[in-house]
Amino acid sequence: MKALDALHLRSSVPKLSGPLPSQKMLENIYKAAFRAADHAVLRPWRFLVVTADSREKLGELFAKAGAANDAALDQGALEKLRSKPLRAPLVLVCISSFKPHPKVPEIEQDLSAGAATQNMLLAAFAQGLGAMWRTGSLAYDPIVKDGLGLSAEEKIIGFLYIGTVDGGTKQLCEPDIQSYFQEW
Ligand SMILES: Cc1cc2nc3c(=O)[nH]c(=O)nc-3n(C[C@H](O)[C@H](O)[C@H](O)COP(=O)(O)O)c2cc1C
């Protein structure tokens, strides 16, 4: 796929299925992260690769966090949390990993990590894979952060779900581009 087509046509795919993308596809996705704009080349990111049975472990962690936050959650709600990571064969936990630097404030590092994450979405799409970026309260939950081994300086900026497109992709509507760009 041409770069401009990927940039103009990517959309989220909420319904994903197996198999796990090939090793080559995964390498293409991971490599794309490293072309994010990155002040001082700090690489202020890291990604946890969650596949196979590890997805169940992640689901348990989500359920543990859910139960700790709301003791009234019923079995159905807990099961929903448990099954979240099973929505795709691959979940990348995307982490902004702040590295103190005299010229690069935290916001710039978060933006770089976000750009790296977006690059991976695009690389997945460019290879015909489906992907979606999700957060929700679990991304900011201290139990989830602790269970995944994040340090105090780190943030979960997204869960990227990646797999085979299962079902259709949505119709894109033409954005009113001009109203977002003003001559100055
Ligand atoms: C940081 C971040 C977190 C997001 N979290 C969620 C989420 O938890 N749930 C959700 O439905 N969409 C979430 N989105 C939005 C979707 O990933 C998606 O971009 C949006 O639904 C628009 O669809 P599109 O990507 O096909 O244009 C998030 C996007 C970003 C950048």
Is residue 160 within 8 A of residue 133, CB to CB? The reply is yes
Q: Which domains does the chain have, with CATH numbers?
A: 32-51+88-164 (3.40.109.10)
Residue 169 has pLDDT above 90, yes or no: no
Task: Return the ligand 1 atom nearest residue 11 CA.
Answer: 26
Nearest CA to ligand 1 atom 5: 134
Peptide bond just before 19 cis, omega within 30 deg = yes
pLDDT tens-digit map of 24-68: 999 999 999 999 999 999 999 999 999 999 999 999 999 999 999
Q: List pocket residues of ligand 1, CB cut-off 6 Å.
A: 11-12, 132-136, 157-158
Distance 25 CA to ligand 1 centre (A): 22
Mean pLDDT over each residue of the chain, to the nearest integer = 97
Taking the C-alpha atoms of residue 94 and residue 124, their distance in angstroms, rounded to an integer, is: 15
Residue 59: exposure state from Cβ atoms within 10 A (0-12, 13-18, ≥19):
buried
Rg (CA), the chain: 18
Nearest CA to ligand 1 atom 4: 134
Task: Return the ligand 1 atom nearest residue 118 CA.
Answer: 31
Kindly state the tokens that stand for 88. Answer: 């795709």
Nearest CA to ligand 1 atom 23: 12
Kindly state the tokens that stand for 142. Answer: 């201290």
Residue 154 has pLDDT above 90, yes or no: yes
Nearest CA to ligand 1 atom 27: 11
Distance 99 CA to ligand 1 centre (A): 26
Q: What are phi and psi of 55, to 5 degrees?
A: -65, -35
What percent of the chain shows pLDDT beyond 70?
Answer: 100
Nearest CA to ligand 1 atom 7: 134
Residue 167's pLDDT band, with cuts at 50, 70 and 90, is confident
Q: What are phi and psi of 96, to 5 degrees?
A: -85, 120
Which residue matches tokens 């990348």?
Answer: 92
